[in-house]
Amino acid sequence: MAQHSRCPLACDERPGYLAGMYICFVPLHSGPISAEDFLHQQFPDLAQSYLAKLLKRGKFKCSDAPLQRDTLLQPGELLTLPGNHSFQEQIANGSPAILHETSTTLVVNKPALLAVHAGVGHRDDNLLLRLGVTMHQRRAPYRLHAVHRLDRETSGALLLAKGKQAAGTFGRHLMNGEVHKRYLALVCGKPASEGLLTTPLQQRGKLRESTTSFRTIAGNQHYSLLELDLHSGRTHQIRRHLAAAGTPLYGDRRYGAGHPHAPHFYLHCRQLSFPCPDSEALFSVIAPLPEAFLAKLCELGLQADTALQELGPYRRIFREDLPNTRHTE
């Protein structure tokens, strides 16, 4: 077996970057430990399946020799991983910020460009996987269930239920229109100050009645920031309604024309209101806008600071005109 590199002097045991390499040392005061266990200790917020994949592909090395899952590491040994953009992103992102939590409920601020569920291209990194790592560390006796969906590119408040019983309760609240979501959207164009979008949308091969209400909270001649409520739950309803109205989401390549300076569209679930299964009290949770969203508003010349500060608690825009609608997206 090849001799592994050792650090003869007391060294910084925290992982970090050096000369384009991600490096970490096995603490001098520790005993022998397997590569798999050591990496889980060093990177507790990363999914075990993701670390296992890096090990299987020989990405982590010691003395230029690829590590195996069961390689026994000794105190003072140095591990390296060549500059890896995906790994840097995973380290930087970690678990999403928790906005609200009870014994049955979890609300997190989902970042943009992170899928909620595992799927093609997202099996090694998705929101439920990241939160699963956190729940495993807590030794939580339940699984998390996403009550609703947010597109990969959409950021903001996401409601999760702790366990099947809570998920069933929230499912009923959702179908009864008792879970309300309010969005902020950056759009191209200059829509009216407020209004209703009622274009019927295809759902499962049939045209369905669909309603979205909106209010313009900031804008100029080319771009606007809208506040929107859904009064029906069609797939991609906001994106499709805005495109049909001639004011597509800025950067939406699927329903709009996209934009060369937009890596993704800008849609954020700012506010989420729901009955809590613990007490039936109505909770209203606000998710702060991502820095990238705020920076884009400034870049496009939208003076939205005052308008955003003046946004009050959840209000049912035009809800009195739509007493029997469902809000199930």
* Cβ pair 91, 39 in contact under 8 A: no
* Cβ pair 211, 196 in contact under 8 A: yes
Q: What is the pLDDT along the chain (329 residues), one digit of tens a residue?
A: 444 444 333 344 444 545 456 777 888 777 889 998 888 777 766 667 778 888 888 888 888 889 998 899 988 888 888 765 566 555 555 668 888 888 999 999 998 888 888 776 666 678 888 888 778 778 889 999 999 989 999 999 999 999 999 999 999 998 888 899 999 999 999 999 999 999 999 888 899 999 999 999 999 999 999 999 998 888 999 999 999 999 999 999 999 877 777 888 999 999 999 987 777 678 889 998 988 898 899 899 997 777 777 775 544 433 333 333 333 33
Amino acid, single-letter form, for residue 277 = P
Give the integer Cα–Cα distance in Å for 148 and 260: 31
* Cβ pair 14, 6 in contact under 8 A: no
Q: Taking phi first (over 0 means left), then psi (-120 to 50 degrees means alpha), and beta for anything else, what does residue 189 get? A: left
Residues 6+ apart with CB under 8 A from 107: 98, 99, 100, 101, 157, 158, 159, 160, 272, 285
Give the integer Cα–Cα distance in Å for 292 and 278: 35
Q: In this structure, what are the phi and psi dihedrals at residue 112, rounded to the nearest 5 degrees? A: -65, 155
Give the integer Cα–Cα distance in Å for 76 and 30: 9
What is the CB neighbour count within 10 angstroms for residue 94?
14
pLDDT value for 319: 35
Amino acid, single-letter form, for residue 95 = S
133-to-47, 80, 86, 119, 167 alpha-carbon distances in Å? 6, 23, 18, 18, 20
182-to-156, 185, 212, 320 alpha-carbon distances in Å? 10, 10, 11, 16
DSSP H or E stretch at residue 53: helix 48-56
DSSP 319: G
What is the CB neighbour count within 10 angstroms for residue 327?
21
Amino acid, single-letter form, for residue 55 = L
Domains of the chain: 16-91 (3.10.290.10), 95-321 (3.30.2350.10)
User: Do the strands 201-203 and 65-66 form a parallel or antiparallel pair, or are they unpaired?
Assistant: unpaired
Closest CA to 267 of 99, 155, 159, 158: 155
pLDDT value for 85: 52
Closest CA to 183 of 146, 151, 210: 151
Give the integer Cα–Cα distance in Å for 35 and 72: 6
